[in-house]
């Protein structure tokens, strides 16, 4: 791939296998993830139900991270990935079997999905840390973003096209079935990854204690992760749902995601190719501010055009914010041998803080929706959340940038 700066930075076989599995995972989730929310909305038309579906998802996801962290230390990281993908495959099978009764079990379905997500992302993030090194981490993130964006360009449009061309609920069953099949393919790929046992005892409390010491860089990482989660917990489902509520057309929703991911694809390419470690702080803050700014037209006038403006703008600037933020945090884990030994615990800490932010954001969303379902009132809430990533950009500046050294973790 031309995006790599030199032969010394080429990714190895394990990296490519993880990227293939991540690409399959992205394709499966891009096909159905947003359309699960639309499916629940069409059955019941209740934002509170969807809010609790996501709340239970992130709560169980946090619990699953702890369980998966213990398993990664006692058994194997690859097994946690395999288990996570398998649980998500069973989730879509359950939705298929429940049909239009799915909304009655929304919190339980969210709990089930969250468990799968927690096991998958714990294993995936730990493997990502072990497989990549400081000198090629930005490039891996860029390529991983490219694959995710490519899946996002194709899959939502295919889903929208299928749903609008057949009986709509039958169309939903088709795309959920396709996601099930792709998840199973990802499970097969996971068997080609080398078994990776971790030595030592899973010991989370000392790592959690670092969250409360201001002089420790992890205090600021945790603040950034909470701020990141505040926005993400709501935006990951509600913006797409707003597009559908505004247009009432799944193909338009699929087109929205296709265009957004096309822009993201281009942005991730240039981030992977050109971003230097010493530019990370500036990139994070700039990307965060611009993601809030592109929401302003949407606040003044809610229609399909302002939604598309936001989608394109957020997709352009999110990689500028997210790729260096991820690299910076994982570089901190690899700063010394002692931290590397506790890499599983640090990944769990990162995800717990991220999910704490998501849960707080969702509680605020549920509270506001209880007061009003008027979209005009919700716009100001979304605008406030839109700029929350700026707090992540400010707090992460307290984390020292580490110099890239060839061969370092």
The b/e string for 47-82 (b: 16+ C-beta within 10 A; e otherwise) is: bebbbbbbbbbbbbbbebbbbbbbbbbeebbbbbbb
Mean pLDDT taken over the chain = 87
Helix spans in 75-105 (H): 77-98
151 alpha-carbon distance from chain centroid: 14
Domain that includes residue 283, residue range: 13-398
Angle, vertex CA 264, rays to CA 47 and CA 28, nearest 5: 60
Q: What is the pLDDT of residue 6?
A: 41
Q: What is the pLDDT of residue 196?
A: 65
Q: What is the pLDDT of residue 109?
A: 96
- Helices (H) and strands (E) counted in the chain, each on its own, are 16, 0
**Quick check: is 4 in a domain?**
no
C-alpha distances out from residue 13 to 40, 125, 380, Å: 40, 17, 47
Residue 325 to residue 392: CA distance in whole angstroms = 9
**Quick check: is 312 in a domain?**
yes
Q: What is the pLDDT of residue 136?
A: 66
Q: What is the pLDDT of residue 76?
A: 79
Q: What is the pLDDT of residue 303?
A: 82
> Residue 349 corresponds to which tokens in the numbers above?
């800490």
**Quick check: is 136 in a domain?**
yes
Helix spans in 302-342 (H): 304-333, 337-341
> Residue 372 corresponds to which tokens in the numbers above?
């009003």
Q: What is the pLDDT of residue 7?
A: 41
Number of domains in the chain: 1
**Quick check: is 408 in a domain?**
no
Contact criterion met (CB below 8 Å) for 70 and 202: yes
What would the pLDDT profile of 50-62 be if each residue is shown by its tens digit?
A: 999 999 999 999 9
What would the pLDDT profile of 187-245 be if each residue is shown by its tens digit?
A: 899 888 877 665 678 888 988 887 788 888 999 999 999 999 999 999 999 999 989 98
* Whole-structure pTM value: 0.88
Residue 300 to residue 78: CA distance in whole angstroms = 47
**Quick check: is 3 in a domain?**
no
The percentage of residues in the chain with a pLDDT greater than 70, rounded to a whole number, is: 93
Residue 51 to residue 7: CA distance in whole angstroms = 47
CATH number at residue 214: 1.20.1250.20
Q: Which residues, 6+ apart, have CB-to-CB distance to 282 below 8 Å?
A: none
Q: What is the DSSP letter of 3?
A: T
**Quick check: is 1 in a domain?**
no
Q: What is the DSSP letter of 167?
A: -
**Quick check: is 407 in a domain?**
no
In the chain, which residues have pLDDT < 50?
1-9, 404-409
């Amino acid at each position: 791939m031309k995006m790599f700066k030199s032969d010394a930075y080429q990714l190895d076989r394990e990296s490519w296998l993880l990227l293939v599995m991540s690409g399959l995972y992205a394709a499966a989730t891009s096909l159905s993830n947003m359309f699960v929310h639309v499916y629940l909305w069409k059955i019941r038309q209740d934002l509170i139900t969807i809010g609790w579906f996501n709340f239970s998802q992130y709560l169980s996801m946090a619990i699953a991270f702890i369980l998966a962290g213990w398993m990664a230390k006692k058994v194997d990281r690859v097994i946690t990935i395999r288990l996570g993908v398998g649980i998500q495959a069973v989730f879509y099978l359950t939705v298929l079997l429940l049909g239009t009764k799915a909304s009655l079990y929304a919190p339980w379905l969210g709990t089930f999905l969250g468990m799968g997500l927690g096991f998958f992302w714990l294993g995936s993030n730990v493997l990502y840390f072990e497989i990549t090194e400081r000198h090629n981490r930005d490039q891996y993130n860029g390529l991983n973003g490219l694959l995710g964006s490519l899946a996002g360009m194709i899959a939502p449009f295919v889903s929208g096209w299928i749903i609008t061309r057949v009986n709509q609920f039958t169309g939903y069953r088709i795309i959920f079935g396709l996601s099930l099949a792709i998840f199973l393919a990802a499970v097969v790929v996971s068997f080609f990854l080398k078994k990776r046992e971790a030595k030592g005892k899973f010991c989370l409390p000392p790592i959690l204690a670092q969250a409360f010491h201001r002089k420790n860089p992890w205090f600021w990482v945790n603040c950034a992760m909470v701020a990141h989660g505040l926005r993400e917990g709501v935006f990951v489902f509600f913006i797409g749902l707003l597009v559908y509520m505004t247009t009432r057309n799944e193909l338009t929703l699929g087109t929205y995601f296709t265009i957004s991911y096309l822009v993201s694809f281009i942005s991730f390419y240039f981030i992977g190719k050109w971003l230097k470690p010493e530019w990370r702080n500036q990139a994070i803050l700039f990307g965060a501010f611009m993601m809030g700014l592109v929401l302003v037209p949407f606040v003044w006038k809610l229609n399909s055009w302002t939604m598309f403006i936001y989608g394109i703008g957020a997709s352009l600037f999110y990689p500028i914010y997210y790729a260096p933020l991820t690299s910076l945090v994982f570089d901190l884990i690899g700063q010394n041998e002692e931290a590397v030994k506790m890499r599983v615990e640090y990944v769990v800490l990162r995800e717990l803080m991220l999910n704490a932010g998501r849960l707080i954001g969702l509680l605020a969303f549920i509270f506001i929706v209880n007061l009003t379902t008027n979209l005009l009132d919700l716009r100001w809430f979304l605008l406030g959340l839109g700029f929350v990533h700026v707090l992540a950009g400010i707090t992460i500046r307290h984390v020292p940038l580490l110099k890239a050294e060839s061969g370092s973790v």
